[in-house]
């Protein structure tokens, strides 16, 4: 097993991920290294599909110029039945949800917590996000879902 690794002159040690919350915390704590050209937001926001199904985001990523953004779903690698029965439907709902109705919450976080000027943050309005699935271990089924959606 690797004892540690170096990424952009910063040393990291392998960490056993205990839960989805733990993985989210690790990503947020290391966001400047992982995403140096974007803001990562703790973005627990509910959005709705056209047929009334709701979905909850874990985080979002916003480019520094606020011209692109991504909804991030954080998952632990689990059994194939969990991936097919829980993760895949959740990702499908997230893709179908209307995130433009909640973008003002991201704009508020960007201006209040990240110091982004309001006129820059407002560039997100009307833009549909892309999607990222972050997971803690190699999993072909999750990778396939990510490619499909």
Q: pLDDT truncated to tens, each residue of the chain (149 aa)?
A: 456 666 667 777 777 788 888 888 888 988 888 899 999 999 999 999 999 999 999 999 999 999 999 999 888 777 777 767 777 888 889 989 999 999 999 999 999 999 999 999 999 999 999 998 887 776 677 777 767 66
pTM, two decimal places:
0.81
Nearest residue to 46 via CA among 88, 86, 93, 83: 93
């Amino acid at each position: 097993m690797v004892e540690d690794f170096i990424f952009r002159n910063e040393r990291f040690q392998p960490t056993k991920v205990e839960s989805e919350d733990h993985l989210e915390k690790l990503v947020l704590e290391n966001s400047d290294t992982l995403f140096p050209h974007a803001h990562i937001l703790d973005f627990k926001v509910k959005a709705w599909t056209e047929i009334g199904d709701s979905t909850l985001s874990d985080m979002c990523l916003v480019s520094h110029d606020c011209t692109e953004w991504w909804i991030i779903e954080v998952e632990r690698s689990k059994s194939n039945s969990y991936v097919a029965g829980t993760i895949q439907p959740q990702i499908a709902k997230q893709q179908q949800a209307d995130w433009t109705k909640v973008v003002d919450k991201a704009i508020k976080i960007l201006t209040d917590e990240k110091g982004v000027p309001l006129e820059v943050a407002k560039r997100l309005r009307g833009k549909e996000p892309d999607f990222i699935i972050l997971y803690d271990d190699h999993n072909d089924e999750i990778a396939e879902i990510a490619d499909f959606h």
